[in-house]
């Protein structure tokens, strides 16, 4: 029997992966990206005549767990209505048995592409906007657990979106679950633990907190704070924390301290919320004292000068002029 | 601090300092009290005008230009009354206006938004 070449096998495999969208309102346009358990496809919504993104499981598995996991991700996304989280439009099962969900197609750049050529201030503003949806999710009891540059998208209108909630975990309770009148969306902690493999290691090395890497049960929202710290370190140095260490001299000390605090081994030593961390970066941007960094007297003077430089220069020039006039008048 | 109050306070302080510096000019030392009062009053007028402008117009550049203009104009009027010392009066007066113009734009709080 004649053997098929690798190229043909690969082509056949690729063809097999194309989802059969018969019986749905969608038609495949092209492949967009691959995830841990499925692929994302660009598709046409033939009813509303718009482009959408479909996340489809790679294979039909005998065990229904992956399908349930995908549906669970869709439900989490549907429950997290926030401008920084991609909205889900639809979910279901294809004729070939594969689970899928349909979400808004985000035309834009990943964080890696977006930060190229951006200055420090723009990067820190970006972090502030990443922290917003994260804090929103934490408040509702969801932990992302896979925050990394590839999972941050910047849309065509500059909107910042936290993507891929496939590894998200539902915590026992939100930090402030119903203060704005929105009830918890999912509370099936036992089910979610089973589906997301609690006890096994899930996440991305370099962005994963030590407690998450241990695969223990003690992971809470502060694991995302660790990842946010690693994300900030990546934005500042261009290198993820898992890669070979590099010189961080170019990174200002207060920002280094913010990264270190966010990535502390003990979760109690970290910022206790994403908003708290973002607020510290905003403090740095406004030349205010950063909570994570106890500055010395000399640094404090430098910071105050940097903050009020123009006013100090103007008053200095005025006083100099006065001294000049006094000397001139004495002659 | 409110922009108008900030302008008033800053104008008064810088105006007073401006006036007190006349003590180093022997020719006018005898009139120092009048000069300090006049200069402080001038600073207050300039500060209020610049503060009101800063409340209406949120622009650093325009605030500085307006402050400089008001400072120079008031100093020119004073110099006219003194029949001289144009450089010694107008340069500090202009700088005071410029500093107040900058400070009111940069540091002063604008009016609170009205509730519907």
Residue A48's alpha-carbon distances to A19, A23, A42, A91, B58, in angstroms, are 20, 16, 15, 16, 45
> Which position among A146, A220, A224, A280 bears the catalytic label?
A146
Beta-bridged to residue A50, according to DSSP, are A45
ipTM of predicted assembly, 2 dp:
0.81
> What is the distance in angstroms between the Cα of B106 and the nearest Cα belonging to chain A?
9
Task: Locate the domains of chain B by residue range.
Answer: 3-106
CB A21 within 8 A of CB A29: no
For A57, how many CA atoms within 13 A lie in the half-sphere containing its CB?
Answer: 26
> What is the distance in angstroms between the Cα of B114 and the nearest Cα belonging to chain A?
24
Q: Is residue A146 among the annotated active site residues?
A: yes
pLDDT band at A240 (very low <50, low <70, confident <90, very high): low
pLDDT of A204:
76
For A65, the token pair is 């767990």
Q: Which run of H or E residues covers position A102?
A: strand A99-104
Q: Which CATH class is domain A6-104?
A: alpha beta
Cα(A29)–Cα(A54) distance, integer angstroms: 10
Of the candidates B41, B56, B45, the residue with the CA atom closest to the CA atom of residue B3: B56
pLDDT of A61:
60
Q: What kind of fold does domain A108-285 have according to CATH?
A: Transferase(Phosphotransferase); domain 1 (1.10.510)
Contact A325 B96 (CB under 8 A): no
Contact residues on chain A for B96, CB-CB shorter than 8 A = 318
Q: Which run of H or E residues covers position A39?
A: strand A38-45
A189 has pLDDT over 50: no
A194 has pLDDT over 60: no
Bridge-based pairing of strands A88-93 and A99-104 is antiparallel
pLDDT of A11:
76
| Per-chain mean pLDDT for chain B | 87
For A326, the token pair is 């006094």
pLDDT tens per residue, range A45-69: 999 999 999 998 876 665 567 778 7
Average pLDDT estimate for B87-115: 83
Average pLDDT estimate for A151-159: 91
Cα(A294)–Cα(A297) distance, integer angstroms: 10
pLDDT of A175:
47
Please spell the DSSP secondary structure of A45-88, one letter per residue: ETTTTEEEEEEEESS--SSTHHHHHHHHHHHHHHH---TTBPPE
Contact residues on chain A for B98, CB-CB shorter than 8 A = 314
A186-195, A289-298, B85-94: range with highest mean pLDDT: A289-298
pLDDT of B66:
95
A205 has pLDDT over 80: no
CB A8 within 8 A of CB A14: no
B47 has pLDDT over 90: yes
Of the candidates A166, A127, A111, A129, the residue with the CA atom closest to the CA atom of residue A144: A166
pLDDT of A203:
67
Average pLDDT estimate for A198-221: 76
For A317, the token pair is 């020039």
Cα(A328)–Cα(A324) distance, integer angstroms: 6
Beta-bridged to residue A103, according to DSSP, are A53, A88
A188 has pLDDT over 70: no
Q: Which of A167-181, A311-325, B21-35 has the lowest mean pLDDT?
A: A167-181
Contacting A residues, span 289-318, partner chain B, CB-CB under 8 Å: 310-311, 314-315, 317-318
């Amino acid at each position: 029997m004649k053997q098929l070449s690798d190229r043909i096998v690969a082509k056949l495999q690729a063809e097999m992966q194309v989802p059969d969208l018969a019986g749905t309102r969608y038609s495949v346009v092209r492949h967009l990206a691959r995830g841990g358990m499925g692929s994302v496809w660009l598709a046409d919504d033939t009813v509303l005549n718009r482009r959408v993104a479909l996340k489809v499981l790679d294979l039909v598995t005998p065990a229904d767990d992956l399908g349930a996991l995908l549906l669970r991700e869709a439900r989490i996304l549907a429950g997290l209505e926030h401008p920084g989280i991609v909205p889900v439009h639809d979910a279901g099962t294809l004729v070939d048995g594969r689970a899928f969900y349909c979400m808004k197609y985000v035309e834009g750049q990943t964080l890696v592409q977006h930060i190229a050529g951006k200055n420090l201030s723009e990067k820190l503003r970006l972090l502030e906007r990443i922290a917003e949806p994260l804090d929103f999710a934490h408040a509702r009891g969801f932990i992302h657990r896979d925050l990394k540059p590839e999972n941050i998208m910047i849309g065509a209108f500059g909107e910042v979106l936290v993507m891929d909630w496939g590894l998200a975990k539902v915590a026992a309770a939100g930090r402030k679950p119903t203060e704005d009148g929105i009830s918890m969306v999912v509370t099936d902690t036992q089910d979610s633990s089973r589906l997301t493999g609690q006890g096994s290691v899930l996440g991305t090395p370099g962005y994963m907190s030590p407690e998450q890497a241990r695969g223990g049960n003690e992971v809470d929202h502060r694991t995302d704070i660790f990842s946010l710290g690693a994300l900030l370190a990546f934005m500042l140095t261009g290198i993820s924390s898992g890669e070979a260490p590099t010189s961080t001299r170019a990174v200002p000390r207060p920002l280094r301290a913010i990264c270190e605090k966010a990535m502390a081994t003990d979760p109690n030593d970290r910022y206790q919320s994403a908003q708290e961390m973002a607020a510290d970066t905003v403090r740095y941007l406004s030349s205010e004292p950063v909570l994570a960094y106890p500055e010395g007297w000399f640094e404090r003077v430098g910071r105050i000068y940097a903050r009020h430089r123009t006013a100090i220069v103007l008053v200095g020039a005025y006083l100099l002029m006065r001294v000049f006039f006094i000397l001139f008048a004495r002659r | 601090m409110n922009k108008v109050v900030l302008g008033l306070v800053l104008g008064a302080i810088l105006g007073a300092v401006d006036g007190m510096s006349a003590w180093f000019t022997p020719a006018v030392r005898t009139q120092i009290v009048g000069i300090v009062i006049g200069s402080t009053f001038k600073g207050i007028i300039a500060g209020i005008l610049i503060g009101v402008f800063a409340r209406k117009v949120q622009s650093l550049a325009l605030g500085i230009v307006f402050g400089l203009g008001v400072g120079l104009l008031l100093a020119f009027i004073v110099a006219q009354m003194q029949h001289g010392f144009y450089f010694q009066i107008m340069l500090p007066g202009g700088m005071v206006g410029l500093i107040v113009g900058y400070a009111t734009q940069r540091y002063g709080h604008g009016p609170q938004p009205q509730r519907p």
